[in-house]
Chain A
């Protein structure tokens, strides 16, 4: 550890400088007074000396000012008050003059030092306010606890002019910094019983700071503790929000699974059981009907499970895009082909661009996203009504519009249909959709930088629009 000067030595050194300054000013004043002695009266010379007292008083403390006043009083008496070069005074006038000089000098020095100390404390207050304001702004802008700690360390170090370090709430016992700073000035960061660690200032800082700076450092520490507390509360709030959301999703998922897995299974078990029990008694077309029911319900289950798998991939962020060049037409055709297999009676028309439009996407994901929209449209179409798919290019984007003649979607619902399990939330009425499809669609299209939106249909029904960005045309070698 380096040797620090004792407080007394330092005090004496500081004071010696002050008194030297006062003495020097006094000497200069007397020099001037001697120089102009022959032109002015003794009363005016006293004014020059009074100026010197004021000059010291505004800069230095009261004691130094008094010292200057007494020095000037004695000098004035000795050098300029007749009889000169004695401390005796002849005339009663001069006694009054020199007496008044002493009183005025003392009063002036008191007033001047008070004024200057007010200025100094005003300046300090202003500096303190500015420092705190700056710190407050920086703390408010800090995004997380780590940023708050960084901002705080920097601001504190600048404010006290020495290293300040923020220690975590429970430093490990083996932390070397904790061990070799036993004499550091440590201020805890405490707010309402929550311990956010402490601030450790470098050794010896506490002694070097004056009361103002100490107070400023403490005020800053308090602000920092408040910022850390605010951050902790915000995190707690976010955590409980996420937990609530997870809870809601889990409940929705459970009800969806129990509904959407069970109802096709119930149909399949029922139909198969009926067949097994009454096979010989049933007419051929009824047997076929039951078999078709088993087939279709099985396919429905398969689609639902595919959706659940897709959802898990999207939800876990493990979805990797394997992009490839693909003809937009081929993706649309793959989706419509698949839809036709499941809804053979649906009137489905497609309008495709005449020229080859190349996309750079993960084809299977886009196909699945489009299939989900199509399946939705097919479910909500009244029997015999057409579902139209219109593919077009608009500037830098490919638009895929799926137009149905279903009941339409009320404006206030249009944004919410993409919410996970939205249709489940509406109860059994929404049994045709699982509330997964559109949400997955949005996830998959979104992963490609595109968007899905529900537009009001032309008259009745809904237009679902998938927008995908078109890549710059690749070089060709055909």
Chain B
């Protein structure tokens, strides 16, 4: 095995899940570390310094949220959570507590791998992601320095809020941004409950960018959680 391959730590109490994750991850060329509970997982995270952690929210010895909080005290390693469906509030809480992304159980291997790639691509070892000041995929061009947006060569006039939302999603391209984070950073901490602001701005952004919500090119809704700016690989 290639010793420079990224190392992924899987913390999940389900042996079968660890087993197929191990097989799948190794098939994709990752090195895999496994832990069946929180204590083991935190110990491995501290001693082996993995490049990415896959953390199940339902662990036998401690709550996933606690593990995440403890991990975040001394590590900025990207964390991808596993959670069951109909627990949107759990996902949001974990994202707000420093998790970087999530997948819902049961999940497909392809979806998981895409998330892992996005996390590893954008995550230097520490600090917030540094985005190049210019995004250009051939159709959409966003100049984060001059605050200019153009579509197919034509300038698109965005309101301040619309631009702020787009820029924030773009800075976290490929990863989910929770609606609370969007509301807090664009409208301010007193407006985190005013989700209708966000819905309306997203609706207008999509209209102005000609993005079909049914088959989004850039702005994808993560139901109940937030939004994600799609990169080329995810479309």
Chain A residues engaging chain B, CB cutoff 8 angstroms: 298-299, 302, 306, 309, 322, 324-327, 329-334, 336, 350, 352, 355-356, 358, 363-364, 367, 474, 476-478
B62 lies within 8 A of chain A by Cβ? no
Complex partner residue of B162 from A299, A356, A478, CB under 8 angstroms: A478
B45 lies within 8 A of chain A by Cβ? no
Q: Which stretch from B53-61, B112-120, B195-203 is at the chain A interface?
A: B195-203
Q: For residue B223, which residue of chain A has the nearest CB?
A: A334
Distance between A443 CB and nearest chain B CB, rounded to angstroms: 15
Q: Report yes or no: B213 in contact with A330, Cβ–Cβ below 8 A.
A: yes
Given contacts A330-B223, A356-B199, 20 further A-B contacts (CB under 8 A): A299-B106, A302-B106, A306-B86, A325-B194, A325-B196, A325-B199, A327-B202, A330-B213, A333-B213, A333-B221, A336-B214, A356-B203, A358-B200, A364-B88, A364-B223, A367-B223, A474-B196, A477-B161, A477-B187, A478-B161
Q: Report yes or no: B201 in contact with A478, Cβ–Cβ below 8 A.
A: yes
Distance between A331 CB and nearest chain B CB, rounded to angstroms: 7
- Known contacts A363-B223, A367-B223: does B88 contact A358 (CB below 8 Å)? no
> 7 tightest A-B contacts by CB?
A356-B203, A325-B196, A334-B223, A330-B221, A474-B196, A325-B195, A327-B199
User: A-facing mask of B193-231, CB < 8 A → 1, else 0?
Assistant: 011110111111000000001100000010110000000
State the majority secondary structure of interface residues on B.
helix
Contacts of B85 in A (CB 8 A): 306
B159 lies within 8 A of chain A by Cβ? yes
Q: Report yes or no: B203 in contact with A329, Cβ–Cβ below 8 A.
A: yes
Of the A-B pairs whose beta carbons lie under 8 Å apart in the complex, a sample of 16, sorted by A's number, is A298-B106, A299-B106, A327-B213, A330-B221, A333-B214, A352-B213, A358-B200, A363-B224, A476-B197, A477-B161, A477-B191, A477-B197, A478-B161, A478-B162, A478-B197, A478-B201
Complex partner residue of B221 from A299, A334, A350, A352, CB under 8 angstroms: A334
Q: In the complex, what distance in Å separates the CA atom of A332 from the CA atom of B201?
A: 18
Q: For residue A474, which residue of chain B has the nearest CB?
A: B196
Complex partner residue of A478 from B86, B106, B204, B224, CB under 8 angstroms: B204
- Known contacts A306-B85, A325-B195, A352-B214: does B200 contact A476 (CB below 8 Å)? yes
Contacts of A476 in B (CB 8 A): 196-197, 200
Contacts of A350 in B (CB 8 A): 214
Distance between B132 CB and nearest chain A CB, rounded to angstroms: 28
Of the four ranges (under 10, 10 to 19, 20 to 34, 35 or more), the interface on chain B belongs to 20 to 34
Q: In the complex, what distance in Å separates the CA atom of A478 from the CA atom of B195?
A: 11
Q: For residue A475, which residue of chain B has the nearest CB?
A: B196
Contacts of A477 in B (CB 8 A): 161, 187, 191, 194, 197
Contacts of A352 in B (CB 8 A): 213-214
Q: Report yes or no: A364 in contact with B86, Cβ–Cβ below 8 A.
A: yes
Q: Report yes or no: B204 in contact with A356, Cβ–Cβ below 8 A.
A: yes
Contacts of A325 in B (CB 8 A): 194-196, 199
Contacts of A322 in B (CB 8 A): 89
Q: In the complex, what distance in Å separates the CA atom of A356 from the CA atom of B204?
A: 8
Q: Report yes or no: B195 in contact with A324, Cβ–Cβ below 8 A.
A: yes
Chain B 115-146 residues near chain A, CB threshold 8 A: none
Contacts of A331 in B (CB 8 A): 223
User: A-facing mask of B65-103, CB < 8 A → 1, else 0?
Assistant: 000000000000000000001101100000000000000
Q: For residue A329, which residue of chain B has the nearest CB?
A: B213
Q: Report yes or no: A327 in contact with B203, Cβ–Cβ below 8 A.
A: yes
Distance between B224 CB and nearest chain A CB, rounded to angstroms: 5
Q: In the complex, what distance in Å separates the CA atom of A299 from the CA atom of B223?
A: 19
Distance between B227 CB and nearest chain A CB, rounded to angstroms: 9
Q: In the complex, what distance in Å separates the CA atom of A367 from the CA atom of B223?
A: 9
Q: In the complex, what distance in Å separates the CA atom of A160 from the CA atom of B221?
A: 74
Q: For residue B199, which residue of chain A has the nearest CB?
A: A327
Contacts of A302 in B (CB 8 A): 106
Q: In the complex, what distance in Å separates the CA atom of A299 from the CA atom of B106?
A: 8
Question: In this complex, which of B106, B202, B214 has the most chain A Cβ atoms within 10 angstroms of its Cβ?
Answer: B214
Question: In this complex, which of A309, A329, A355 has the most chain B Cβ atoms within 10 angstroms of its Cβ?
Answer: A329
Q: For residue B111, which residue of chain A has the nearest CB?
A: A341
Q: In the complex, what distance in Å separates the CA atom of A476 from the CA atom of B159?
A: 14
Contacts of B194 in A (CB 8 A): 325, 477
Q: For residue B195, which residue of chain A has the nearest CB?
A: A325
Q: In the complex, what distance in Å separates the CA atom of A325 from the CA atom of B199?
A: 7
